[in-house]
Structure 1
Amino acid sequence: MLKEKRQPFMTPVEIVRIIASAIGVKASNKQLDTFAFKYDQPYTLASSLFKESISVPLSKFISKGFSKKLEAKFESMMREYIELVNSTPMDGITRVETEAILTRWILDTIAVEFNLFMGKVIEGPNYLMRNNLHPNGITQAFDWLSSNVEWWDSFLKFIPKEKRHRFKLWKSNDELPKLSNITNIPDYLSNSEVEGHEWEKIKVVILAARFIDNLQRNYADIYPEQLVNVDVLSLSQVEQYIWHLKSNNQVWLKSLGEQGLEIDYIFYKKGENKELSDADRKQCLKTLIDELEVSTFKHPKFNMGYWLSWYRARWHALNGELKEANGHFKATFEQALFFAGPSIPEIIKEALSIASSLKPTPDKAFIKRLKNSAILFGIDIPLHKEDKSQLEANRFDSVVEDWELKLYAATFHKHFPPALQFNDSSSNGAQRIGPLLGSFKQSIEPNFRSPNKKIVVGDTWGKQMPQIVYFSWMNCVETVSQFINTGVNVNALSDSNESALLFSILQMDVLDHGSSMDDRLFKLISSIKHSEGVVNTKTSKKELLPLVCAVDTGRPEVVAKVIEMGANVNFRGNTDKQSALFATLCKIGIIKRPEVLKNLIKEHPLNDELLDTIRRHSNGLMGATLDEVKRNYEKCLQDPMFKNITDSGHNLIVDRVKEFMTLDDMRKIAQLLINAGADANASHNTRINGFTPLMLAAELDEVELFEAMIQKNGDPLITAEHPETGRLLDCKHIAFAHQSNKVLRYLVSQQK
């Protein structure tokens, strides 16, 4: 792609390509060339390509330690970079103006990472403080090796003549070392007794020097001829430079901005334009948009077409022409990526509402692209799908779930309110937002002649479910019994993947103060053979899993029955992705340390996972994207009444656990799960990343369960990372920190 046609901001894959080329590994992955200038990218692409084309070669041939450091640095620099992309509109800026400074920032950042590794890890040379005695990095590297590796000079004497000549070419800048050349240095002398870690250090020193020399050799337009004490460029300096460029374009941008403001005024200030009828307003907007098109064509090099496409998309949306609006939103989306700054999230949200509202079917291909970009730009998070192959991970339902489609469609009126639409017929249908309300029991009669018939329930919005699922939800035991006698399909699911089995378990949910605690329905439903698929089906939005819900009953006999019915004990449930064993130990923790739970809830950070949980449980009332949920939830936190309600809810959970659960029963449940093959080493990202059921048992001093898990291949040496300190913690550290003396004594006894 010609530089003039590229967006002013680089894509993450283009950044990977620059880094790979500068280090010398670019040729190993042709995908970098293929995807570098495709602005609509899967959110995982850059990270996976970085691993494939940079981390893996470096880890294999140079140093695993440096490879991991560089990978972590790439992830952190991408987070900062995407923040800049999100906050900085590039109106009036071209790639020609930004190419050099962005490249300089990328290369400076990697150079600093090399240098930090040199100084902190292997105490190597400081390439950013080179003196005039060293004309290039390789010379500095070889001098350092001579001074710091006692056998290096002898090594140089005894290697073959042609190898010494190659080193001479490197030092004279006549040849830039290839990665393969650096990798093979240990082979220059056969029967060497030098240990591998020493060679790793030497290879990193030379690779870093090669990187520095490459900057002088191939980036002469960015770097001075002699890299002596060059100032490192920060991302904040890049931002300052961009705003300086923008200040030079204010004259013509001002006139375009005034046209845009006039269009916005008529679009969204209908009440202040009472003299305009809807028909006049519609025609006036069309005329103004046509005039904007003429103005943008006067400045074609600045890629301002996204403004025009966006206004046309909105015009068609307000006119009820969703198919046409969707087409214009595709153009807007493609033109705005890595260009439109703060407008990108709004464009994505509006486009999602349109693409999801199309009849007869949503535009799933476009929705998947939009969701990928929403994740990339930090306004949403990916779905966490367990046990998915790479092919399955790329499927639509691994990126977007059905409940999200309904939620996106439900935001249509938020973005395009009926009051602003040009005519009544352009209004979209009912919005599936908020709780499902209705008279239910009083209004729906069972149809035993058609037992498998599905019904639509709810007054606020409609939910489709089989009759047996609905009457199980209502805990109508006698009615469900009659349906079973008719041969009804007990495996039928609602449109949210709810089953009669799930609702029979939820009748005994200790954590729900509205549950009946009645086990009659469960005994009835579970007496019928179910398919294992249904037993292991999670609901689509709240991710309720029958086995994890069975744990929340506190009844060992219920858990045992669900396992007997074919439950996979290692499947995860709930929005926090807990295994049944981990959930069981959490309840033991509540029973033993109720005040700790309250403190943990109060101190829980408002992270993406919590925001996603709030979104799934609020059904659109708090927003469709995480940035909206966060903004609305933070408003709620300012309300004293909201705090009182949430505190009461937390106290109620503790009280009900005390009333309906016992330590003996929860320990029996844990033992049932362990005996059934529950993974004691299953990693959970809760308070501490990588926490396992075995670690939780160590924290709670549940020595019998701890020992049972050890006997079933539980590994006490697995570590989890503390979120604040980054310290790696194993079971012994955790037990010591929580004064779990029984577990500590057991661990000591196993060392004898």
Structure 2
Amino acid sequence: MTSTPYPRLGECVRALASALDSKTSDRDVDRLAREGDFDWSVLDTVIGRLLIDGTGRLLAASVRPTFEAWLHSARDAYCRLVMGVALDGIDREEALPVLIDRFFVPVTASLLRAMNEQCRGPGLDRLLTTGTSPVSATLDWLDNVVGEPIDKLLYPETVGESKSTRDKMGKWRAGVDLPSAHGLKLLLDAMRAEPRSLALADAAGVWLLTARALAHFERLGGERVRAGLDSCLRAGVPAGAAGERLLELVRTSGRRWPELADAGRRLWHDLRRTTTKHPGERADTWGRILVLEQLARELDPEGRTAYHAAWMRGRWHALSGLYEEALAHYEEAFRLSCYRAGHQVREVAEDAMCIAAFLGKRPFLKRMKHVGIAFGLFVRPDVDAALEDWEIEQFSQQLLLRFPPQGRFVESEADLSPVAAPGLMLISAQSVDRMKPDLSAPNRVRAIRFENGIVRRWPQLRLFASFGMAANVSALLDAGASVDELDGSGGSALLCGIQYAHATGDRSTLDLLLAVPHAPATLNTITGRKGLTPLVSAIDFGQPDVVQRLLEMGADADLPALTDRQSPLYYAVTLLHGRIHPQRMLTQLSLQLAHGLDAAGRETLRRFGVAWAGPFGDDASLVHAEPELAAESVKAMVDRHVARHSVEKLQRIIALLLRFGADPNRSHRYPTPGRTPLMVAAESDLAAIFEMMMDNRGDPLKPDADGKNCHHIAAGFRSYRVLAILARMGT
């Protein structure tokens, strides 16, 4: 791969690992730096191995969480920048100075500030003063604290290994050599063996490693690295400074080739996916694409804007209904656009993934998904496979929405999938009524075709349960049908019976199934796409007797489920929170609409097949186009939640879960990392529930990821009844 204006994530990891001397030879990071994000899990593994584990011998235990959190936040911020600002016409030589001054330096300054507040050291003023090496400044600080040169204290002999080590440290002070990680480790071991320096060893490891990294980058970039850090710490750099400066460079580069930019804008206008096309436009736009390519070869021989031409070719073929040909151009466009095209990478990927799924090109789709996960377009999957089977169908169903019939060239043939409403799993009542159970083979798998052409194959007991056909379910049970037969995604007849009862209020099918013992494995199977279990579905249904029966049969009271992996207790307390505080629920949902869903929310929309949310679950164009309708929809959701759930029944469900072993202290990743069911009760001032959980091993002193325990949370939300309970219990 050629150089990109943005350094690839693998290059960033390799550069930082070199500065920290935690990389000697690593094929994975070298391949990531050379080829890009071919495997998101390899990228995560490399970060863990080289940057987190690789510094573990030197960084004090108290500082490691700060460093690890910084790594994650810096990576997320960099991905947002890379995916936000397109660097058309800019090469790395132009972009890198801006990235260093306006992004990498401010991000590094935030880490230095955090470590300086947490761990005593030479002081940032001394460390960042130019004219003396940062390693020398750190060693001078150690000299001052112990009252004599640290190398003389630890290595008093003037011959042999002691002299050799002192000579080596003398070269560190002079800036002739940089200390290796191994050399620093030996120094720290010696400090821990000497009583006068023992208490300094942890801090020395933090600041000597930091000084080593600063000296390394200073060798690469001159003294402006430390000067920039010092300036940033003193004056600060405004948020978004990197993006703003890069946009200025982009505008300047656009003025270099105005004829290329103007021709490109006109072509993209005519290649829009949804606007009506007229006779003759197909041939005309193709001719103009060829002219633009020739002009680009003359003005941009380095190929900085080449991804536009490949993308236009792909778009033209897609609008012509020639998907096989289109995909080859999209693959080239995606390769050229990564770490260059900003938000346009996402647009290229959306088109390409829908076409690839429609054509069944799983390897290409998997490669795209890996890059999407690395850049945060998708959440990191819990399963080993980057691409799941349901996603191919989901992307394929989006094709007609991205390339609707009216947007195609009139000369193109009709599309192969003229579905009016992709994603809607509809079937006529007549088709359902015509289905009859096969009692001679009660566990037979049956095929069912929905109106949009999708075919599902389900065990017939599960099939009839999903439509609430109680007579057929009863007949199959009498004929010996197994309730433990699952469909391909892990769905059982019992799960479908709960869902049908919840949707219609008709429990006749559900009660038939509840009367039959189920294997614990069936009760605790999580469906692949939506993460459902019978227990969380029963909690959503809100009927305590159903929840109790499932628990008595062997449902795990603490098994996480749903797309964000909530425990049953956490989910039940959250439902109760929304029932008691509907205004809070309304405010929270409204804010999410206004500011956009987070990654977990987007993943939920994807997995639940919400077509208007787009391939990545983040298309908010409909919400923005119809804000009043969106607000009314949110209000209706809250009203429905209040109407459907009973406070008394949810309290009984929570009591049942606790009786069957649910953990009130179980930490959750979302929406606030580290939050527990007990913390949600504290936030909501659910006094009776809080006290109930306290009686079942609840720990009010356990902190979340931000260090807040139930005391902090209750005080912050003015949960006076919970605060009174805590005061009474003396915790």
Fold shared, TM-score > 0.5 on shorter chain: yes
The answer as to whether partners of 1:353 and 1:408 remain within 8 angstroms in 2 is yes
Residue 315 (str. 1) matches residue 316 (str. 2): yes
1:522 pairs with one of 507, 510, 513: 510
User: Deviation at 1:625?
Assistant: 2.0
Structure 1: how far apart are the matches of 2:342 and 2:296?
18
Aligned to 1:424: 413
Paired amino acid for 2:559: F
Letter of the aligned partner of 1:416 in structure 2? F
Partner residue of 2:429?
440
- The answer for the alignment partner of 1:730 in structure 2 is 709
Counterpart in 2 of 1:621? 612
Name the SS of the counterpart of 1:61 in structure 2: coil
> Structure 1 residues 634, 401: closer, same or farther in 2, change over 3 A?
farther
User: Aligned-pair distance for 1:263?
Assistant: 3.9
Q: Is 1:159 aligned to residue 145 of structure 2?
A: no
Query: How far 1:377 moved relative to its partner?
Result: 3.8
- What is the match of residue 17 of structure 2? 20
1:254 partnered with 2:255: no
- State the Cα distance separating 1:371 from its structure 2 match: 2.4
Among 504, 507, 510, the alignment partner of 2:497 is 504
Distance in 2 of aligned mates of 1:103 and 1:223:
13
Amino acid at match of 2:558: N
Q: How does 1:575-594 map to 2 (within 5 A)?
A: 575-589=563-577
Q: How does 1:454-603 map to 2 (within 5 A)?
A: 454-459=446-451, 462=454, 464-466=456-458, 467-493=460-486, 497-509=490-502, 514-518=503-507, 520-528=508-516, 530-589=518-577
How far is the alpha carbon of 1:579 from its aligned partner?
1.5
Quote the Cα distance in structure 1 between the aligned partners of 2:431 and 2:344: 48
The residue type equivalent to 1:653 in the other structure is: H
Q: Return the offset for 1:732.
A: 4.7
| Superposition deviation, residue 17 in structure 1 | 1.3
What is the aligned partner in structure 1 of residue 726 from structure 2?
Answer: 744
- 1:87 alignment partner in structure 2: 84
Identity %: 22
Q: Secondary structure at the match of 2:448?
A: strand
Amino acid at match of 1:18: A
**C-alpha deviation, 1:431, in angstroms:** 6.0
Q: Determine if contact 2:191/2:201 at 8 Å carries over to the other structure.
A: no
Q: Is the 8 A contact 2:586 2:634 kept in 1?
A: no
Q: In the alignment, does 2:188 pair up with 1:199?
A: no
- CA distance in structure 1 between the aligned counterparts of 2:581 and 2:334, rounded to whole angstroms: 51
1:683–1:692 CA contact under 8 A, matched in 2: yes
2:355 matched to which residue of 1? 354
1:389 matched to which residue of 2? none
**How far did residue 282 of structure 1 move?**
3.8
1:651 aligns with 2:639: yes
Match in the other structure for 1:388: none
* Aligned counterparts of 2:497 and 2:580: Cα–Cα separation in 1: 28
Gaps of 5+ in 1: 386-391
- Aligned-partner SS, 1:720: coil
Map of 2:693 onto structure 1:
706
Contact 1:40 1:337 in 2 (8 A): no
Relative distance call for 1:663 and 1:501 in structure 2 (3 A) is closer
- Aligned residue pairs total 705
Q: What is the CA–CA distance in structure 1 between the aligned matches of 2:28 and 2:275, rounded to whole Å? A: 52
What is the SS of the residue equivalent to 1:543? coil
- 2:363 counterpart of 1:365: yes
Q: Deviation of residue 346 (structure 1)?
A: 0.8
Give, in whole Å, the separation in 2 of the partners of 1:12 and 1:658: 50
Q: Is the 8 A contact 2:19 2:213 kept in 1?
A: yes
Residue 132 (structure 2) pairs with residue 135 (structure 1): yes
Query: d(CA) in 1 for partners of 2:240 and 2:679?
Result: 42
Distance between the aligned counterparts of 2:48 and 2:315, measured in 1?
40
For residues 57-81 of structure 1, give each alpha carbon's deviation from its aligned partner in whole angstroms, at most 9, with x where no partner exists: 3233232343333333333333332
Q: Distance in 1 between matches of 2:275 and 2:576?
A: 59
8 Å CA contact 1:127–1:212 kept in 2: the answer is no
Query: What does 1:627-706 correspond to in 2, within 5 Å?
Result: 627-628=618-619, 630-636=620-626, 638-639=627-628, 641-658=629-646, 661-662=648-649, 665-674=652-661, 678-686=662-670, 688-696=672-680, 700-701=686-687, 702=689, 705-706=692-693
Shift of the 89–731 alpha-carbon distance from structure 1 to 2, 3 Å rule, reads closer
- TM-score normalised by the chain length of structure 2: 0.84
Partner AA of 1:700 in structure 2:
L
* 2:540 counterpart letter in structure 1: D
Cα distance change on mapping 1:173 and 1:288 into 2, 3 Å: same
Deviation at 1:309, TM superposition (A): 1.8
Q: 2:297 maps to what in 1?
A: 297
Give the conservation status (yes or no) of the 8 Å contact 1:563–1:569: yes
Change (3 A) 1:49 1:257: same
Distance 2:487 2:220 in 1: 61
Which residue pairs with 1:607 in the alignment?
A: 597
Residue by residue, what CA displacement relative to the aligned partner does 1:595-654 show, whole Å, maximum 9, x if unpaired?
6656665666753233443454463033332331x3433444x20x54345334423322
Give the 3 Å change call, closer, same or farther, for CA 589–78 of structure 1 in structure 2.
closer
Alignment partners' CA distance in 2, 1:133 and 1:541: 56
| Cα 1:177–1:383 shift into 2, 3 Å | closer
Residues 525 and 241 from structure 1, CA distance in 2 versus in 1: closer, same or farther, beyond 3 angstroms?
Answer: closer
User: Are the structure 2 counterparts of residues 471 and 256 from structure 1 closer, same or farther at C-alpha, using a change threshold of 3 Å?
Assistant: same
Residue among 170, 173, 182 paired with 1:171? 173
Q: Counterparts of 1:537 and 1:30 in 2: how far apart (Å)?
A: 39
Q: CA deviation at 1:409?
A: 1.2
Answer whether contact 1:58 1:64 (CA < 8 A) is retained: no
Shift of 1:336: 0.9
Give the aligned residue type for 2:652: D
Does the 8 Å contact 2:270/2:285 carry over to 1? yes
Q: CA deviation at 1:489?
A: 4.9
What secondary structure does 2:611 align onto? coil
For 1:686 and 1:228, locate their aligned partners in 2 and report how far apart those are by CA, in whole Å: 37
**Worse overlay, 153-162 or 75-84:** 153-162
Kept in 2, the 8 Å contact 1:551–1:669? The answer is: no
Q: RMSD between aligned alpha carbons?
A: 3.7
One-letter code aligned to 1:447? K
Residues 277-299 of structure 1 deviation map (CA, whole Å, 9 limit, x = unaligned): xxxx4444443333334333333
Q: TM-score, normalised by structure 1?
A: 0.82
Q: Which amino acid aligns with 1:135?
A: T
Relative distance call for 1:428 and 1:295 in structure 2 (3 A) is farther
Residue in 2 aligned with 1:718? 702
Q: 2:59 aligns with which of 62, 68, 89?
A: 62
Residues 80-102 of structure 1: per-residue CA shift (max 9 Å, x gap): 32233223322222234334554
Return 5+ residue gaps in structure 2 as ranges.
none
- Judged with a 3 Å threshold, the aligned counterparts in structure 2 of structure 1 residues 741 and 111 are, in CA distance, closer, same or farther, namely closer
AA partner of residue 207 (structure 1): L
8 Å CA contact retained: 2:489, 2:527: yes
**Do 1:469 and 1:503's aligned partners in 2 also have CA atoms closer than 8 Å?**
yes
Corresponding residue of 2:287: 287
Structure 1 residues 80 and 65, CA, compared in 2 at 3 Å: closer, same or farther?
Answer: same
Question: Matches of 2:704 and 2:136 in 1, distance apart?
Answer: 42
* CA deviation profile, 1:453-493 (whole Å, cap 9, x unmatched): 52425435545253433332232211211233344454455
User: In the superposition, relative to structure 1, how do residues 664 and 11 fare at CA in structure 2: closer, same or farther (>3 Å)?
Assistant: closer
